[in-house]
Amino acid sequence: MKNSLVRNLGLAFIAVSLVSFSSCKSHKDVIKPTDEMKEVVTPCGDEEFHSDAKFFRGSGIGNSQDQATAKSKANLDAARNLAASINRTLKSVTDRYTNERQIGENSEFEQKFEDMTRDVVNQEMNNVSTVCAKTYQDPKDKKYKVYMALEVAKDELLNNIKDKISKDQKLQLDYDKQKFENIFNEEMEKLSNERK
């Protein structure tokens, strides 16, 4: 009986080891599309509502037992993604602009400019438009799932940046409106081409 128990424990250990070892394989070998698998299309998703040359966009998803909470979560997620997209683009524009211009105190100008654009982005996040919102309820657990896409017009953001600069004498001295707009439009075009 003791030999039988030891042998069974040994076999169990080998079986667990084999299962553990096989689960360490690359996911490429494990996940393969089959006839039973279906592609999931996300409503209000980035595939359809992505940033382009005219608009910054962000999408989000929210889940909750409460419909209003699910909507709030989706809105927050979409706003976070939208703000991240705007901030990345403005950082690229600011970096390129300060590198291409010969400005006396580059680092001071860049810091002041970044602070100013951050203020504009925060202000713009209060003026976003909802371009897509879809609500679903799971029949099993009755949870709500809300999908949402938000947008901000590029021109509106650019105009607010220009307004802020016109109110700051130090920034205005080193600001070349046409150069900034050209770089801004190039970065928006790059953002648009990321999805093609």
Reduced 3-state DSSP string for 157-171? HHHHHHHHHHCCHHH
Q: Return the closest-CA partner of residue 44 out of 77, 67, 83, 84.
A: 77
Specify whether the CB–CB gap between 132 and 147 falls below 8 A.
yes
pLDDT of residue 26: 47
CB 70 within 8 A of CB 145: yes
Residue-wise pLDDT for 40-96, tens only, equals 788 999 888 989 989 999 999 999 999 999 999 999 999 999 999 998 998 888 888
Residue located via tokens 């990321």: 194
Cα separation, 40 vs 43, in Å, equals 9
pLDDT tier for residue 177 given thresholds of 50, 70 and 90: confident
